[in-house]
């Protein structure tokens, strides 16, 4: 029996995928699995019972990844589950920035008591006319699950789409429209495009990607969209660009005191993935990942450990080892089993940066003394008996 805890409300369509082998607990310290959305875990004490955290969403800046890794706690996210919801809002953002729909609606509100409002509207509407997006150039930085969907949708809307992603996966590349122009240097996007949207993870190396230097290369009147993370743009530089006329509009899904209410900024209250469908998709995917790991030891879509999938164990035992990615670890592991006369029928080792994960299927279950020998090896964070 596995116990799980929800730090945030999780859609029922996901939770109902837990079967009779799972029970929900209100005590986070006794849970083997945690489901979370936006709740911060950085100040939490992580129980020794905790095996995995599943984030029902893409961003994981609310979870202490390194701390979890060194305790052998796998952190999952749900890439692509909310991609369509974000894509649709990005398209809406482009339209709101191109056509001053918001300004027009506010004018109508202000004139609601004018009995000649229809006639007045004909005179006022030219203030809100704007431009169309068909035929304009859209630059997309990051062609993952969301960026790829935005690219394809923009192509279908008649835009000329440029994509930059030096790390684009094979699967993502196959899903892109052939009309998307894949550029090798991001500067080409800055120089060529009327709209620029960013869809990369918030990492130390991506923080402030859109800054004064990047803005200086852009066309006058550029529209910048940020539906990924606010830290990807230096928003003080964005405001300077708006004031100088270089930037026509900045559309962001991350409210803060820098941009809220500022001229030229359209600030949306983090609605990108807040659709019923996105929340359902994220919940289902998070529960599926959590179950597969708890029951089989398989890691799929982790952000702090490598993917490692050996399917359902058909042998008498399965052991999973979290350890540093250093030389000679596999030799030490197999020697422990060899010394006890235990045959390893299958083995998989994967690494990700400084961390590694090894799974071994055994002809007989591993005994407590064997686990203790593995745990005593220098560089091992955790040993888990899956079966």
If asked whether residues 245 and 341 sit together in one domain, one would say no
Q: Of 249, 283, 305, which one is at a domain's C-terminal end? A: 305
Q: What's residue 135's pLDDT?
A: 98
| Both structure tokens of 310 | 């050996």
Task: Give the pLDDT confidence of 52-91 residue by residue, as tens digits.
Answer: 999 998 889 899 999 999 999 999 999 889 999 999 999 9
Instruction: Please identify, among 289, 305, 321, the residue that sits at the C-terminal boundary of a domain.
Output: 305
Does 346 reside within a domain? yes
pLDDT of 49: 97
- CA 127 from chain centre, in angstroms, equals 38
The answer to whether residue 180 is domain-embedded is yes
Token pair, residue 324, equals: 């540093």
DSSP at 343: P
Cβ count within 10 A of residue 196: 27
pLDDT tens per residue, range 35-44: 999 899 999 9
pTM for this prediction:
0.81
Across 178-207, average pLDDT: 95
Residue 251 has pLDDT above 90, yes or no: yes
- Domain extent for 256: 134-267
The answer as to whether 50 is a domain residue is: yes
On the question of pLDDT at 169 being above 90, the answer is no
Distance CA 380, CA 296 (A): 20
Task: Identify whether residues 24 and 42 lie together within a single domain.
Answer: yes
Q: Are 194 and 137 in contact (CB under 8 A)?
A: yes
Q: Where are the alpha helices (DSSP H) in 297-353?
A: 329-339
Q: Per residue in 195-227, pLDDT tens?
A: 999 999 888 899 999 999 999 999 999 999 999
Examine residue 326 and state whether it is found in any structural domain, yes or no.
Answer: yes
Under a CB-based contact definition with an 8 Å cutoff, are residues 225 and 251 in contact?
A: yes
Kindly state whether residues 75 and 19 are assigned to the same domain: yes
Residue 118 lies in a domain: no
- Note whether residue 56 is domain-resident: yes
The kind and range of the H/E element at 70 are helix 65-70
Q: Is residue 103 part of a domain?
A: no
Q: Are residues 248 and 348 in the same domain?
A: no
How crowded is the C-beta side of 198, counted as CA atoms within 13 Å?
27
Helices 83-98/276-296 angle, 10° precision = 150
Which CATH number is 334's domain given?
Answer: 3.30.70.260
List C-alpha distances in Å: 110 to 143, 171, 260, 262, 268. Answer: 41, 50, 21, 20, 22
Residue 97: partners with Cβ closer than 8 Å, 6 or more residues away? 195, 223, 225, 248, 249, 251, 266
Number of domains in the chain: 3
- 299 with 321, same domain: the answer is no
Tell me: do 58 and 141 sit in the same domain.
Answer: no
**What does the alpha-carbon distance between residue 188 and residue 199 come to, in Å, rounded to a whole number?**
17
How many other C-beta atoms lie within 10 A of the C-beta of residue 171?
10
Distances (CA, A) of 92 to 133, 153, 199, 354: 11, 12, 16, 41
Structure tokens at 107: 């004018």
Most distant CA atoms of the chain, gap in Å: 93
pLDDT at position 134 is: 98
Per-residue confidence at 381, pLDDT binned at 50, 70, 90? very high
Residue 143's Cα: distance from chain center in Å? 13
Could you tell me if 219 and 155 lie in one domain?
yes
Q: Are residues 246 and 156 in the same domain?
A: yes
What pLDDT is attached to residue 19?
A: 95
Q: Is residue 88 part of a domain?
A: no
Whether 363 has a pLDDT exceeding 90, the answer reads: yes
CATH number at residue 75: 3.40.50.720
Measured distance CA(191)–CA(120) in Å, rounded: 40
Task: For 188, list phi and psi in degrees, rounded to 5.
Answer: -65, -35
The DSSP result for 250-284, as a single string, is EEES---TTTTT-TTEEE--S-TT-SHHHHHHHHH
118-128 pLDDT, tens per residue? 999 999 999 99
| pLDDT recorded at residue 173 | 84
């Amino acid at each position: 029996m596995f116990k799980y805890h929800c730090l945030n409300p999780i859609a029922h369509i996901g939770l109902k995928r837990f079967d009779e082998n799972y029970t929900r607990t209100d005590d986070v310290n006794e849970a083997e699995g945690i489901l979370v959305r936006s709740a911060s875990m950085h100040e939490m004490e992580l129980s020794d019972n905790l095996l995995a955290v599943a984030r029902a969403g893409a961003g994981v800046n609310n979870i202490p990844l390194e701390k979890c890794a060194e305790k052998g706690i796998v952190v999952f996210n749900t890439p692509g589950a909310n991609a369509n919801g974000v894509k649709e809002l990005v398209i809406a953002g482009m339209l709101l920035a191109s056509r001053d729909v918001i300004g027009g609606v506010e004018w109508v509100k202000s004139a609601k008591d004018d009995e000649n409002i229809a006639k007045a509207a004909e005179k006022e509407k030219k203030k809100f006319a704007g431009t169309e997006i068909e035929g304009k150039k859209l630059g997309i930085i990051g062609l993952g699950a969301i960026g790829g969907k935005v690219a394809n949708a923009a192509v279908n809307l008649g835009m000329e789409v440029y994509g930059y992603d030096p790390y684009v996966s094979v699967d993502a590349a196959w899903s892109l429209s052939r009309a998307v122009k894949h550029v090798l240097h991001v500067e080409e996007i800055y120089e060529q495009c009327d709209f620029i949207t960013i869809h990369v993870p918030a990492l130390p190396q991506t923080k402030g990607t859109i800054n004064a230097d990047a803005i200086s290369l852009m066309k006058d009147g550029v529209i910048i969209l940020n539906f990924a993370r606010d830290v990807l743009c230096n928003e003080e530089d964005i405001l300077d660009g708006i004031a100088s006329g270089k930037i026509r509009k900045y559309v962001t899904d991350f409210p803060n005191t820098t941009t809220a209410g500022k001229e030229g900024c359209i600030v949306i209250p983090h609605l990108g993935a807040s659709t019923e469908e996105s929340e359902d998709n994220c919940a289902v995917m998070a529960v599926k990942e959590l179950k597969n790991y708890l029951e089989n030891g398989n890691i799929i879509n982790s952000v702090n450990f490598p993917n490692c999938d050996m399917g359902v164990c058909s042998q008498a035992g399965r052991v999973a080892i979290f350890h540093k990615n250093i030389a000679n670890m596999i030799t030490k592991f197999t020697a422990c089993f060899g010394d006890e006369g235990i045959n390893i029928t299958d083995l998989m080792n994967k690494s990700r940066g400084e961390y590694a994960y090894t799974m071994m299927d055994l002809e007989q279950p591993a005994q407590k003394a064997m686990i203790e020998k593995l745990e005593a090896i220098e560089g091992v964070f955790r040993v888990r008996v899956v079966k």
